[in-house]
Chains A and B, each alone.
Chain A
Amino acid sequence: MNQEPAGLALKCATAFAHPILQLALSILLSAAAQVLLKLGAPPSGGEGWLGLGGLASAWTWLGILALIGSLFSWLYALRFVALSVAFTLAGAVHALVPLASWLVLGESISSRRWLGILLVIAGVLISAKPATAVEEKL
């Protein structure tokens, strides 16, 4: 009976190690990082062009952590997924960042920009097919 929780933990670990999940995590973290860095950035400029004033904010550090996490998930996913597929799917960042800026930061989105976001989503969905083929090869 004691085996059950261990079995569940193993199942969770196996699911977490799935390359497509890690790729998705990497993409989400890198989009989240942009929003976190923006939240941490001092309003209009701050000191110096490097924007080091942002380092005083906890948001900025969370953003940096998200970027590091994103890199590790990305490298792990690359062990199993073709670079061409992974990089194309990572294009989703260009839809996620404007959407998150709209939802979290309250920035406005023009109609032309909505069209661009829809095109990016369509492109990612079409490219996702080869990714499932990669999955079968594992």
Chain B
Amino acid sequence: MTAWTLFLIVLCECASIAGQIFFKHAMTEHWSKSRRKAAWILSAGIGAMAVNFFIWLSLLANFELSRLYPFEGLNRVVLLCAAAIFLREKIPPQLWIGVVLISAGVALVFVS
């Protein structure tokens, strides 16, 4: 796995997290005030998801799913951090425990 591949994986995960943050931001901050602004931010979210999708396809073409999927597990933990930082969500301790179990489970499901 080269530095370039690692860069692509990080970019792919960042795009998916950015997409979710855009979605949440559009639905909570803008939906009730300005549908037009919400639509713009939702489009940005869909754009980020599209970037995530095509990079993921190109990664899948070159690597086995079981090598790539553990990053999907890691992604869930990073998303919690991003939600805490950018959306100022308070993360209850159960959620941290839950996400660690889920990530470990995802890794086991796809490595075997």
Contact A87-B23, Cβ < 8 Å, known A94-B106, A94-B109: no
The reply to whether the CB of A129 lies closer than 8 angstroms to some CB of chain B is yes
Whether B105 contacts A120 by the Cβ 8 Å rule is yes
Docked-complex contact B108 and A122, CB < 8 angstroms: no
> Are A79 and B31 in contact, with the CB atoms below 8 A?
yes
The A-B contact count (CB < 8 A) is 117
Q: Interface of chain A, helix or strand or loop or mixed? A: helix
Q: Which residues of B contact A118 (CB under 8 A)?
A: 105
Most-contacted residue by chain B among A74, A87, A112, A125 (CB, 10 A):
A87
Q: How far is the CB of A13 from chain B (nearest CB, A)?
A: 19
Cross-chain contact B107 with A123 (CB below 8 angstroms): no
Interfacial residues of chain A within 87-102, with CB under 8 A of chain B in the complex: 87-88, 91, 94-95, 98
User: B residues touching A (Cβ–Cβ < 8 Å)?
Assistant: 20-21, 23-24, 27-28, 31, 42, 61, 76, 79-80, 83-84, 87, 89, 91-92, 94-95, 97-112
A87-B80, A91-B105 given. 5 additional CB < 8 A pairs?
A: A76-B27, A78-B23, A78-B27, A83-B24, A116-B106
